[in-house]
Structure 1
């Protein structure tokens, strides 16, 4: 089987997915491309038979780290790897000064809010504001502004540049959750102090892998409180005992990788790089707008859209369309494996 793109852009890679018709739920989880699926199966077969050592599986972590860094335009030395957004943000939240103020959008996904909220015993306060007003609410009293580039609830895009500009003027840290953005939305990660992303959605990886860009100036204020053997300068030079010998870059904040999940992550990110995020964006947004147009709604600039159609959940289920319901509205997400036929079938179901 051909496991490489056969041409430029999304169309040339379409044969690398085995999606059944009607999957519009990437905002919940992405579907693995064939190279990632095959790599994962080989690794699990090797594990079952005990025919290899584990070091090769761990190597996939470094390949994935480098891919993520290229996708968001940062140095791999400034990228830590972990398992979940909340885990990756824990050390960031621990570094917020006692009595600090963290500003987040209303209805932000809890994994990007709770790590800060649990700091309340140190006097840390979490304030909320409407997403559209977030930049205007940043003042000298705000220490951190934390927000998703693309809202999980409804697909709205944050004013990244505007929020960053306001935060810099106020001296606040900028913490970005790119889980619903990375893989389809081009952006400059270096504008922020922190960019976290879970890889199991738009990066189409197994659940249990994630990344955090940690700017050097912020790392100086952070403590790697979850440090283990993989956070060492050379993890393989000595597995036992003191002295403490942490990496001098963002790898000090790594947690020990779940091997097989990373084996499936590295090829997925490599394929995204080959296709090109701008090409994926054009494909995804065009399909989202086709969906909206079919329902008589104006276009948007996101791969995630929500619609309020009476009986929508039941209508989609009856037609075999897999989407999500968030806040009482249907949330549909469109990615590289989505086709015009998927969109038209969903529209027909909702209009029935």
Structure 2
């Protein structure tokens, strides 16, 4: 059995990361294999020595990886560019007069797609994140929430929210952008699971996925129908009749090739390392950070703290974090080390 500590094994896949990066909740850092694949594709593009089809194959590799990561059928996964774009047809399918329940501080990309339908009577209600499940009743048609909250890293009571939604007959829409890649979860429990890939999936910005359960998909219209969403992609370049894929690919948008070239190997590495192992690694570092600040252990790879002067202290020490709602938000992922955590603690508390 390999006795190499997980952190040491993980670090070998990120040879260029500078110490002190604690900001994956803003954007993840590419593993070497993703970076190298992207550079090779751009060099080929620059020199005109290949065609695009090879780049396009990365899209389906990534789709397959995402499906395995969240435990769903790849035929039920559509690809796109951003969370709001992927949720647009979901929101457009919500009936006139529907009520959508979201957490009070939910990231707007998972709220605005529903809110823009106010002109047809769609209302968006809010509830405290920790009380979301108890606020779901028969008057709620859709519950949309981040599995992990962007602002402070709070982890949703996924099973409890799903159970309450099923009892009320409400559609369950999950934004897994701050969860997928470090938090194990069963995507098939929801009706819709959308994920931007540039954070914990450590991919170039501009790639994303959405799981669309067949029953939910039947209510939706592929409003961005295009050649790439065709049943036979290469036979869908020109003219009528409409001939879209029979599965979730009907909701694909034409992919930006190079970002997908970097996305596929990043997701494949996550599969190799194992989400459970990444989860254990990330939580251990997050809780090392919390302990150093005198805080109890938590269940998230994202830690939000209020320490006077923290932003300036961390910045002066070369530690990269983010500020959300006036608090420091630090996030810990596969390439983070104990030395990174200790450097941050030294900057904050000496």
TM-score (structure 2 length as normaliser): 0.98
Residue 7 of structure 1 deviates from its aligned partner by: 6.6
Partner of 1:41: 39
Partner of 2:273: 275
Separation in 1, partners of 2:92, 2:99: 13
Is residue 143 of structure 2 the alignment partner of residue 145 of structure 1?
yes
Is residue 311 of structure 2 the alignment partner of residue 309 of structure 1?
no
Number of residue pairs aligned between Structure 1 and Structure 2: 348
Partner of 1:335: 333
Q: 1:6 to 1:243 in 2, by over 3 A?
A: farther
Residue 11 of structure 1 deviates from its aligned partner by: 3.0
Structure 2 unaligned runs (5+)? none
1:192-207 correspondence to structure 2 within 5 Å: 192-207=190-205
The 8 Å contact of residues 7 and 13 in structure 1, kept in 2 or not, is answered as: no
Moved over 4 A (4+): 5-10
3-state secondary structure, aligned to 2:117: helix
3-state secondary structure, aligned to 2:235: coil
Is residue 47 of structure 2 the alignment partner of residue 56 of structure 1?
no
3-state secondary structure, aligned to 1:147: strand
Structure 1 unaligned runs (5+)? none
Is residue 20 of structure 2 the alignment partner of residue 14 of structure 1?
no
Separation in 1, partners of 2:320, 2:236: 48
Residue 13 of structure 1 deviates from its aligned partner by: 3.0
Separation in 2, partners of 1:296, 1:13: 28
Is residue 278 of structure 2 the alignment partner of residue 284 of structure 1?
no
Deviations 1:72-126 (A, max 9, x none): 0000000000000000000000000000000000110000000000010110000
Separation in 2, partners of 1:8, 1:172: 44
Deviations 1:309-329 (A, max 9, x none): 000000000000000000000
3-state secondary structure, aligned to 2:285: helix
Q: 1:121 aligns with which of 113, 119, 123?
A: 119
